[in-house]
Structure 1
């Protein structure tokens, strides 16, 4: 007689960023009973920095999901139980803390339970014990069963006593919706099961959620062309005279903490300049029409602004720095990791293009397009947002002339690019209509003096006024 033994292994919420303490479960890709393999994606979580897909590090069968979608889970907390075949029995006992064994009468009662109860049980075999976790933030934790499955050869045996406890499950039929839509519904207090789906294949759209939230919702405007980097976040909709409370978590929580720390740690100075960008806008049109930068490469004014800033940094590398408080040192960065501030439905994120200063204009356009596409899909990883040195925020896509941008923590400077408008301008001794924008450069006055900040901003303006300087100053 031979016995095949399966043990239960717990997969814990990892720290997928740099020192993160919690994450929200956006979506489960597996359910109890599913077979999983090493490296398979089992869920998507939202950290304080980005949405990340989590792979399972071993093979087995899903026994329990310990948290529902939308729950916020501390790093290091078990989120899923997997039955793994061929491991020693002791591993199963150590997977989770064991409680006292249930009396035989309770086992017999479970074995004769109603069919509806059996549907939510996790397995069969000798009962070795179970444990229940305390409730955590974001939702109650379902019971976790330590399961040992035994089979006997050569003749099949009758099922042994039920060896698990009920596991909390969601509705048998889950409405179809993408994670950002689910989050919107959660923020508005809308049960997706009550929403009428109008999307393809029965998928609930953002408009469907708004329709369920208010009898006469305002139409949702599409993102204007070229504004992909800055996408306005969705605001919660409330009935007239009713307050709406939105939980501060995820990207919004991290952004708030970072901005407060930046504003009250680094002494900000902001300088402004208006510049005639008529020639730059003409160059953008020419590059678009000619396709010189490559097939399918997107060309926008932001691309030329980014290249102008990189050229200015090359001429004044001292601005590409960070402040090390612990070591009492100014760190002059060896390469420019150019951050692009992106407003997404989950909040503000700042992914960066690694070693952007070494890229050609075509290479920069390709990387910028990839960054935009990734941010649109909500797939920006923590690694994409780590290590930035200087940032651009494109407030012009909202029709805003400029602002006083707050430094991304750890960086010495941030450039705001405002809306391009046709204004009366003195050109060659005559007042004529020209395309004009306003630039604002905020910098950390601990390490960037007014002279250095002014020179960098003046260089960016000079390049945008006469873009041929991209060649002569390179």
Structure 2
């Protein structure tokens, strides 16, 4: 039967988002694609996600160029699909026919985006490795973001044995390569199983490879890039640079403005002698039970916060304006503010209150590595009940953090410094940290916030005091 044109519209990728940016296409006009093959990287207000094809067929048209912000429901790509019932079913949230068959549709099975092509009797198709034609477009990987996508005449499909595996890398790394004009197919990845890393791309450009994508939620956070000489001047050339407000920056700005002008913020500070906690960290690093676990000050602060919340539950609540109710959470989804190449995100650890110190350390490690790689899903960025931001990794002592929308409190932990401190009626050199707690004064009274902060300080100054609190 003759092919049918299927139009794929941008779906809602979660959390009711209304628009997304096309970061990159992995297919071109004329390419043959399989069901669930990744065809594009799409950036929502919260994360970069890989968009799979709901059809098996040939790419007929790319409606949008990389760098374009597209509203949900707008067409982004059209496919020529076989006219038989097996491959002509639309995705309900996205597609429209220009030549529908009269035959009744076959039973549909869910694919990676809504419902797509029907499945043969052999079962649901498995997701295949992403492929691109090495002969058809050898320079596509080096195409800069925002470059026009030129319409091409349909090309004959390339036999499977002639197709090349697309270089393995994460979406932020692929975007960096495009920005720098680096061809990923020419690189050998230094990561696990040949994964091409950010450092590989920077090395190919001749950079130092030290421009880190660190995380604010770990003590390995973003540090100033170390260079052999003086930093290049940014005061030459163009008088100014204009960057569109979109993606994570746009979402963060809107959320912070809404929070700052909706919730009446109060911030309290407490400077604590954490020498005992730092001594505990040193002992844990030599303990067999924690030999393969990375325990950091952030892990101890996170555990202390969870214990203090059990004694001060008002800090773990939210204000429901529509229902005119205060919602008390009986679980802790702990948000960790993370500085990533895409901007600030706050993924959270589900049910953090149920985790022991070792499990909490593992969860924090996985969370920050995923955030740095740009793989945090929208679901992991929602549902938090309280947050921590680690400004100490930047050498900062204290601050006045703004609440994550929908949360009653956020704790900022400063850097650990050796300072003269009163200890046992004498002045001694001790390790000291400042804690900054911002809370919503509609939900939390000053006494409640103060007791919560004091409990965290007590645990960090003398970890043994936990026995008196649980």
Give me the TM-score of the superposition, normalised by structure 2: 0.74
Q: Does 1:387 align with 2:387?
A: no
Q: Secondary structure at the match of 1:296?
A: coil
Q: Does 1:400 align with 2:396?
A: yes
Q: Secondary structure at the match of 2:463?
A: coil
Counterparts of 1:287-306 in structure 2 under 5 Å?
287-293=284-290, 296-306=292-302
Q: How has the CA–CA distance of structure 1 residues 196 and 15 changed in structure 2, closer, same or farther, with 3 Å as cutoff?
A: closer
Task: Name the structure 1 match of 2:445.
Answer: 449
Does the aligned pair in 1 maintain the 2:45–2:251 contact within 8 Å? yes
Q: Does 1:267 align with 2:261?
A: no
Counterparts of 1:260-339 in structure 2 under 5 Å?
260-293=257-290, 296-339=292-335
Q: Does 1:473 align with 2:462?
A: no
Q: What displacement does 1:301 show? A: 0.6
Q: Does 1:430 align with 2:426?
A: yes
Aligned length: 400
**Unpaired runs of at least 5, structure 1:** 99-118, 121-137, 146-161, 163-173
Distance (whole Å) between structure 1 residues aligned to residue 83 and residue 184 of structure 2: 47
Task: Name the structure 2 match of 1:76.
Answer: 73
Q: What displacement does 1:344 show? A: 0.9
Within the candidate set 331, 344, 352, 1:348 is matched to 344
Q: What displacement does 1:139 show? A: 8.1
Counterparts of 1:358-397 in structure 2 under 5 Å?
358-397=354-393
Q: Deviations over 1:290-326 (max 9, x none)?
A: 2414x63221110000000000001111210001111
Q: Deviations over 1:38-88 (max 9, x none)?
A: 333222211111111122233323333222322221111122222221347
Counterparts of 1:85-96 in structure 2 under 5 Å?
85-87=82-84, 95=97
Q: What displacement does 1:192 show? A: 2.3
Q: Secondary structure at the match of 1:468?
A: helix
Distance (whole Å) between structure 1 residues aligned to residue 361 and residue 57 of structure 2: 44
Distance (whole Å) between structure 1 residues aligned to residue 235 and residue 199 of structure 2: 18
Does the aligned pair in 2 maintain the 1:52–1:379 contact within 8 Å? yes
Does the aligned pair in 2 maintain the 1:30–1:42 contact within 8 Å? yes
Q: How has the CA–CA distance of structure 1 residues 237 and 371 changed in structure 2, closer, same or farther, with 3 Å as cutoff?
A: farther
Q: How has the CA–CA distance of structure 1 residues 441 and 97 changed in structure 2, closer, same or farther, with 3 Å as cutoff?
A: farther
Q: How has the CA–CA distance of structure 1 residues 371 and 219 changed in structure 2, closer, same or farther, with 3 Å as cutoff?
A: closer
Within the candidate set 38, 61, 64, 1:64 is matched to 61
Distance (whole Å) between structure 1 residues aligned to residue 404 and residue 281 of structure 2: 28
Does the aligned pair in 1 maintain the 2:7–2:96 contact within 8 Å? no
Q: What displacement does 1:218 show? A: 9.5
Q: How has the CA–CA distance of structure 1 residues 53 and 261 changed in structure 2, closer, same or farther, with 3 Å as cutoff?
A: same
Q: Secondary structure at the match of 1:180?
A: helix
Q: Does 1:180 align with 2:176?
A: no
Task: Name the structure 2 match of 1:39.
Answer: 36
Q: Does 1:6 align with 2:8?
A: no
Distance (whole Å) between structure 1 residues aligned to residue 177 and residue 428 of structure 2: 50
Q: Which range moved further: 388-397 or 311-320?
A: 311-320
Distance (whole Å) between structure 1 residues aligned to residue 213 and residue 59 of structure 2: 40
Q: How has the CA–CA distance of structure 1 residues 19 and 140 changed in structure 2, closer, same or farther, with 3 Å as cutoff?
A: farther
Task: Name the structure 1 match of 2:126.
Answer: none
Task: Name the structure 1 match of 2:141.
Answer: none
Q: Secondary structure at the match of 1:5?
A: coil
Q: Does 1:413 align with 2:409?
A: yes
